[in-house]
Structure 1
Amino acid sequence: MTLFETVLLLSAAAVILLQFARHLGAPYPTLLALAGTLVAMLPGAPGVEIEPGLALALFIAPALMDAAYDLPPRELRRNWLPVFSLAALAVIFTTAAVAALAVGLTGMPLYAGIALGAIVAPPDAAAATAVLSRFALPRQTLSVLKGESLLNDAVALIIFGAALQFHSGRSDLAVILPDLGLAIPLGLLIGCAFARLYLAFAPRVAGTLGATLFEIVTTFGAWVMAERLHASAVLSMVAFAMIVARQAPDRQAPRDRVHSHAVWGAIVFMLNVFAFLLVGLQARTVLRQFEGDQIGSALLFAAAVVLVVVGVRLLWVLGYNRAIGRLKRRCAPARAPTLAQGLVVSWSGMRGLVTLAAALALPTSFPARDLILLSAFAVVLGTLVIQGLTLGPLIRRLQIGPDGSYDEEMRLARSQLIEAAEIHLQCSGGGAAARLRAELDELRVAAEARSHGKGGGGDALRLECVARQRAVLSAMRMAGEIGDDVFQVLQQELDWTQLAHSRHERLEEG
């Protein structure tokens, strides 16, 4: 079967699985990984192999771009302590605990145990987001998890790189540490340079399809350049995305912004779908490395690694919450997290493609490589299944109250925007200004109604009118009264009207 046919078949299977995930209320990464594993076990199943470096660039770079674009720097500054605790300290302690387990139970070299720990330490943001997006969690909790996902991969991959250097014979810390220290600022510098490049040349391609293509080229270019120069590709992508997110939107035309968001949303989602299918399809590759008498002990060790990974995160997060509570906000920029928030954060540690890609990147001569591969696969699949399927019920059981700050900020922003328009119209006369002022009054009433949970009756009526207009427009097209070009323009105008008077909600996966 050709690669194209394989991808097409997997895409069709993913569409079906996504519908099951949506109706069952299960996170789609879990279902896709399980399905990929089952497919991999079938005779004649398609084999999909991908080079690890390509997997990181293809799947991780867009996900980081999407996450960093939506997380302003002020959120990182506001939550720097919990983010640092999860993205750096939790990764380091998880690495140490897994390394100790590996050395103690299997006798593998210390640097090999550290490599295993770094591989399984960083959680995957996409898996947790697939569950958390369905619930009205406190915004601080979501900000902390997003901030962790931006930085934990960089910390883990730096430790992993150090372990690989030990394997290659460079065991002198005086040589390794400066290299690792240089990777961080160099990665940030590359990301800033590509962001400036994008901001300088984007206006020249504005209003064209080439604008979105230029975004894709610069995004992957920042990652590839960092990899070529042995810098931190993760931090390069974070710096690039945050600079672009802060400065580019004000320079873009509305149509360019909408088109860019639509394209990137589709790209990130499709790559996530293929990534988690790929995780499952690697099952055969991982298991075929073991003989029949070795698989039992290897599986027991892999199960122990899963327990350590889950347990360390749980203990670390709950311990952090307790310590912050005792300090009574003296060291924390925000209020201490509750026990319920801590349980949600600690249970949102599903692993994903970074873990699998890093494991596959190990040299064939690396000590205990097969056992490390099996352990990494067990951690990915185990956390996706155990935590992925139970995180939703846990959130419902904890009955975490909704965060009203989003609605309050939305109400305030709507009021300020309406007031700005009214001030501008005060000096204008005529029928057009009067009609605009009346429309602004309607918008103010609708905004106040939404802020008090009453719903927008005017919005509902407007949407009903849009639905009727769509029916008439379609009938005119079918009857040949208007051409397709006129139909498409009017259809787009109705789309904008519907978007303007609908609740802002994310599309469901699937």
Structure 2
Amino acid sequence: MNGVQLLLVIVGAIAVTGLAQRRGLQPALVITVVGFAASFIPGFTRLELDSEIILGVVLPPLLYSAALNFSFYSFVRNLRPIIGLGVGLVVATAFVVGLFASWAVPALTLPTALILGAIVSPPDAVTAVAIGRKLGLPKRVMSILTGESLVNDAAALTMFSITLAAVAGTHTLFESPVLLFGYSALVGVAVGLVLAAVATGIRRLLKDAGLETVLGLVVPFAAYLLAEQLEASGVLAVVAAGFAVGSSSGRAGYETRLQERQVWSSIDVLLEAFVFAYMGLQLRFVIQDLADAGESVWAVFGAGLLVLLVVLLVRPVWVFLSFGRHYLGDRLMRRRVAADDRVRERIERENARRVARGRRPRGFPVYLGWRESVVVSWTGMRGVVTLAAAAGVPVLLASGEPFPGRAEIQAIAFIVAVGTLLVQGLTLPALIRGLKLSDPAQEEYDRAQTQHAREVAHAAAGRVFAEFTASPPPGVSPELVQRVTNLVSKQSADAERDPDPREGSAQGSAFGDLYRRVLQAQRAAVLQERDSGSLDDDIARDYLEQLDYQEAAIVSRLGNRL
């Protein structure tokens, strides 16, 4: 791909994204279809991108951004379904697709079919999460889908590397798949955490929003490349770094947080648009490769549709088997508790203490209901990892012979990726609307936690007011102290109504100093409450964002006086 082509693809993808959003359409679907149509323009040449560019340039910032803005506490709280979908389902899909493809596609042996299974096994939650956020999916469903997307890529790429090495005759660090996966996961996470600690320490020394943002842009690439150099999981290194940096972002400057939100949002839009455009543009040439290899295009296309059908069925079967197992286990546990008064009384006492501390009552594990399970089972759209892994199948074996079934693997992988995007992506919005999903308990909990955050912030502000009144700045009269205190307390919820700093009065200076102290105290109190487990992390993030915008407003008005 030359520079002009790359630039045209990026600009075109952004333009199509904007038009699709204005029309209320799903950008990923529209971009893919437009890209496929554009590939037939006379004179259009194939866009060649090495798989390492997609994996090493496109994937790290997308994963890092998702982890940066995702609550680690939500990840831990939903760990069982996330691991079940992100690891268990990926492995199951790879083996089911491998067994079926080895039977349905004559050119594929079982080992090469397992490569295809590993390629098509990881869903890409970008489109599903975007649709779910727009249509108001329950928070827990969104957390599970986002968490799954942070884990499944590592599992799929590890399986891909193991099966590829076995077929191609290349070297891996460990012969045992279990040892290789364990090493890859542990070392990858360790690399991410170490780099995050180093980056966080450097950012505290910089104290410059621009430099801190630039450093943040380097972290995902450094984590991925360093982990890959150690033959570990670069994906898990990026995710671990994102979680670690995101959890410490509340202690960074407000300018850095506001700037990073906009930067990462823009990068996400750019990379996602490019990936789906690349998918559409490549499909025509992948089919052409089959014809050049002397294969029956229609036979491979039919086999690809059958594999697509298998991929579409495996996920619902897995999700509903898990739902049934959890439902039966929940019923049995409730019966045991109902028959044992001591267990029930202990749970009630513990919940009373948790409610008194503003925390959510702990009861039985809350599993997804059947409506939520239907939605989760239909969010298996494939994306960037499937594309990159398919492109990463080598042309030759280690012996120098042609890689068996390479054209078929790539064609079927693209058919599955585009097929899931079109079939599930087109029907998912209607499915969500038809099921009318809502979680009254979650909504009530969010309202209670939001009120708790306000109360914590109000108490922190009260302590600052008391200190300010007890020891006012030199030269400020008691009457002015009272006026400033009343003014800040009234306007701390609306920074747009601050007094005009051009007055140059003692009141303006005292107001700015006190307002900043109040905001800093509120931020520290909310963080402390979150870290103690008494405040939901998502609610805390939302409230801290409001404080950031308030601080930005007051600084813009009072300028250098602060």
TM-score range, shorter chain: 0.7 to 0.9
Q: Is the 8 A contact 1:6 1:46 kept in 2?
A: no
Q: Are positions 1:294 and 2:296 aligned together?
A: yes
Q: Secondary structure at the match of 1:224?
A: helix
CA shift for structure 1 position 360: 0.6
1:398 matched to 2:435? The reply is yes
Measured on the aligned residues, the alpha-carbon RMSD in Å equals 2.8
Q: How many residues align?
A: 455
Q: CA deviation at 1:113?
A: 1.1
Pair 1:397–1:263, CA change in 2 (3 A) = same
Q: CA deviation at 1:293?
A: 6.4
What residue in structure 1 maps to residue 452 of structure 2?
412
1:373 aligns with 2:410: yes
Instruction: Tell me, in whole angstroms, the C-alpha distance in 2 between the residues paired with 1:342 and 1:319.
Output: 10
CA distance in 2, matches of 1:406, 1:163: 45
Match of 2:28 in 1: 29
Distance 1:230 1:174, change over 3 A: closer
Secondary structure at the aligned position of 2:34 is classed as helix
Instruction: Label 1:147 to 1:84 Cα distance change in 2 as closer, same or farther (>3 A).
Output: same
Question: What residue is the counterpart of 2:279 in the other structure?
Answer: 279
TM-score, with length taken from structure 1: 0.82
1:228 equivalent in alignment to 2:193: no
Q: Match of 1:188?
A: 189
Q: Which residue of 2 aligns with 1:106?
A: 105
Of the structure 1 ranges 164-173 and 8-17, higher mean CA displacement relative to structure 2 is found in 164-173
Higher relative contact order, structure no. (Cα contacts within 8 Å, ≥ 6 residues apart): 1
Deviation at 1:498?
11
Paired residue secondary structure (1:41): coil
Q: 1:302 to 1:213 in 2, by over 3 A?
A: same
Tell me by how many angstroms 1:26 deviates.
2.5
Show the 5 A alignment for 1:5-404. Answer: 5-107=4-106, 108-169=108-169, 175-177=175-177, 178-250=179-251, 252-291=252-291, 294-328=296-330, 334-364=365-395, 365-401=402-438, 403-404=442-443
| Bigger Rg over Cα | 2
**Greater alpha carbon shift after TM alignment, 129-138 vs 427-436:** 427-436
The Cα of 1:208 is off from its aligned counterpart by 5.0
The amino acid that maps onto 1:415 is E
Counterparts of 2:376 and 2:168, CA distance in 1: 37
Work out whether residues 254 and 552 of structure 2, in 8 Å CA contact, stay in contact via their aligned partners in 1: no
Contact 1:78 1:333 in 2 (8 A): no
Which moves more between the two structures, 233-242 or 24-33? 24-33
Q: Deviations over 1:217-241 (max 9, x none)?
A: 2220110111222111111111111
- Name 1:440's counterpart in structure 2: 489
Change (3 A) 1:168 1:425: same
Native 8 Å contact 2:188 2:237 kept in 1: yes
Partner Cα distance (2:432, 2:482) in 1: 49
Residues 386-442 of structure 1: CA distance to partner in whole angstroms, max 9, x if unpaired?
111111111111011254143432232123212321232135154454454455356
Change beyond 3 A, Cα 1:208–1:438: closer
C-alpha distance in 2, partners of 1:172/1:62? 26
Report the Cα distance in structure 2 between the residues aligned to 1:186 and 1:258, rounded to whole angstroms.
32
194-203 vs 398-407, which moves further = 398-407
Shift of 1:46: 4.9
Give, in whole Å, the separation in 1 of the partners of 2:312 and 2:122.
11
- Alpha carbons of structure 1 residues 441 and 248: separation in structure 2 relative to 1, 3 Å: closer
CA drift at 1:366: 2.5
Could you list the per-position Cα deviations for residues 328-347 of structure 1 after superposition, in whole angstroms to 9, with x for gaps in the alignment?
17599731211110111111
Q: Displacement of 1:136 after TM fit?
A: 1.8
- Fraction of identical pairs, as percent: 29
Structure 1 residues 197 and 426, CA gap change in structure 2 (3 angstroms) = closer
Counterpart residue number, 2:512: none
Determine helix, strand or coil for the equivalent of 2:135.
Answer: coil
CA displacement at 1:100 relative to structure 2: 1.0
Structure 1 gap segments, 5+ residues each = 445-458, 470-494, 502-510
Distance 1:293 1:71, change over 3 A: closer
